[in-house]
Amino acid sequence: MIGEEFQMLPIFFMALMVAGFAFLCWQVWRNGKIRNRPVVEIMQQALWSAPFSDEVKRGMVRGMVATGGMISSLTVCLLFFRLNGGEIRLHSFLFFLGFISFLFSHISIIAFNFPKFLVPPHMRSEKGVLR
C-alpha cells in the first residue's frame, strides 16, 4: 500500500497539470504567440497523433476552456473525495456534475461551436464540425 504521505501526490500532479493547462487556455483565448507562432496552430499541431480530421482537431482547440474546466472539476472532486476519507459527499458530487457538464460543452463546441461564451473570441465565427 502507498504510504499516507504519498496519497496526495497524484492530486498534486493533477493540480500542476491544471495550472499548465490554464496557461495554455489563456494563451489560446487571447490569440497569443509562443516564439512567433500562434498558440492555436501549436496546439492543433500537438494533436497530430489524434485519429481525427483537421476540423475536429480545430474544434478540440476551440474547446480548450471546457477541457480545462473538466480537468479542474475532476481535480477538485478527487481532492474533496480524498479529504473526506473516501466518502462521497455533496460537494464531490457537484464537482462531478461540473465535470459532466464541461464534457458535454466540449463535445458541443466541437460539433456546433456552441456555447459561444466558452469559445475564444477570435474563434467564435468558425463553424462546428456538424454545422
d(CA 115, CA 50): 24
> C-alpha grid cell for residue 46?
500537438
The pTM (predicted TM-score) of the whole model is: 0.86
- Which pLDDT band, with edges at 50, 70 and 90, does 67 fall under? very high
In the chain, where the domains are located: 8-123
Asked if the model's pLDDT at residue 6 lies above 80, the reply is no
* Mean pLDDT, rounded, for 32-52: 92
Looking from the CA of 5 toward its CB, the CA atoms found within 13 Å total 0
Give the residues across from 34 on adjacent strands: 37
Q: What is the DSSP string of 61-102?
A: HHTHHHHHHHHHHHHHHHHHHHHTTT---HHHHHHHHHHHHH
Q: Tens of pLDDT along 72-126?
A: 998 988 888 888 877 777 887 888 899 999 999 999 999 999 999 999 999 999 9
